[in-house]
Amino acid sequence: MGKLLVLTLLGAGLALIGERLVALRQRTNASREVRSVEPRSCHLIEGLENGSEDIDILPSGLAFISSGLKYPGMPSFAPNEPGQIFLMDLNEQNPRVQALNISGDFDKASFNPHGISTFIDEDKTVYLYVVNHPHMKSTVEKFKFEEQQHSLVHLKTIKHELLKSLNDIVVLGPEQFYATRDHYFTNFFLVLLEIILDLRWSHVLFYSPREVKVVAKGFSSANGITVSLDKKYFASRMFYLRSLKS
């Protein structure tokens, strides 16, 4: 009798997982046929062969690019190389990338950048905020960009108990940003279960030195986030686009 019950539950469990996997394929359009399109004026940027995660472009045309993300279960082309931030000048005819030197009190060996966002203050100083996963944790690193030296000076590591499983960031003001959390669980197998069961538990956070809070929830996996030029609307993407009014 006990065995029969276990087998029944196992069968029901497997059927549920199968059904959720089919739903996931449909939701992400994973089974869609993709037609190959020849890129016209696109060319491979040398120096980024090992992947890139995010890009943010200054009004001057300088672009910051984070190197490919290293995360359990995700393929990495350079699993043993520390992460980097690259600079590219989009005004050049054939833009090339250059890895930025990082100085300051910062552990470069465990640098694993994810989403990035720039902020320019009243003195025209450029700051770069980077979601980092040192040893698979989540922090936000604040850097000052030294344009003459082509380097980043590490100023601060921002940590908070709500800043977990971070994905992307968009900076609004000095040490004020929205960040997305792309999964709720931190254990790898629970993360898989979360995706398969479509638990919409991930969310968007607001951070300022005075207040940290959840501002939008109910996402399967809140991924990229961006802001409109007037800073009135924010959009976060994954499976469906949703705009948040500030």
Kindly list the residues in this chain that would bind ligand NAG in the complex (CB under 6 A).
Answer: 29, 32, 47, 49-50, 77-78, 80-81, 101, 150-151
Dihedral sign from CA coordinates of 18, 20, 24, 27: positive
Report d(CA 109, CA 29) in Å as an integer: 37
Annotated binding-site residue? 80: no
Annotated binding-site residue? 121: no
Report d(CA 105, CA 63) in Å as an integer: 24
Annotated binding-site residue? 116: yes
Neighbouring-strand partners of residue 142: 129, 156
49 vs 121, beta carbon nearer ligand NAG: 49
Rounded to a whole number of angstroms, the minimum distance from the CB of residue 155 to ligand NAG is 18
Rounded to a whole number of angstroms, the minimum distance from the CB of residue 34 to ligand NAG is 9
Rounded to a whole number of angstroms, the minimum distance from the CB of residue 80 to ligand NAG is 6
Rounded to a whole number of angstroms, the minimum distance from the CB of residue 12 to ligand NAG is 28
153 vs 212, beta carbon nearer ligand NAG: 153
151 vs 226, beta carbon nearer ligand NAG: 151
Annotated binding-site residue? 120: no
Catalytic positions are 114
Annotated binding-site residue? 56: no
- The residue length of the chain stands at 246
Q: What is the DSSP letter of 10?
A: H
Report d(CA 178, CA 203) in Å as an integer: 10
Most distant pair of Cα atoms in the chain: their distance: 76
45 vs 172, beta carbon nearer ligand NAG: 45
Report d(CA 113, CA 84) in Å as an integer: 7
Tokens for 85, please give them.
């931030």
Which string of b and e fits 61-73 if b means at least 16 CB within 10 Å?
ebbbbbbbbbeee
Annotated binding-site residue? 54: yes
164 vs 242, beta carbon nearer ligand NAG: 242
Rounded to a whole number of angstroms, the minimum distance from the CB of residue 151 to ligand NAG is 6
DSSP one-letter string for 134-185: GGG--EEEEEEEETTTTEEEEEEEE--TT--SEEEEEEEETTEEEEEE--S-
Instruction: List the binding residues for Ca(2+).
Output: 53-54, 116, 167-168, 223
Instruction: List the binding residues.
Output: 53-54, 116, 167-168, 223
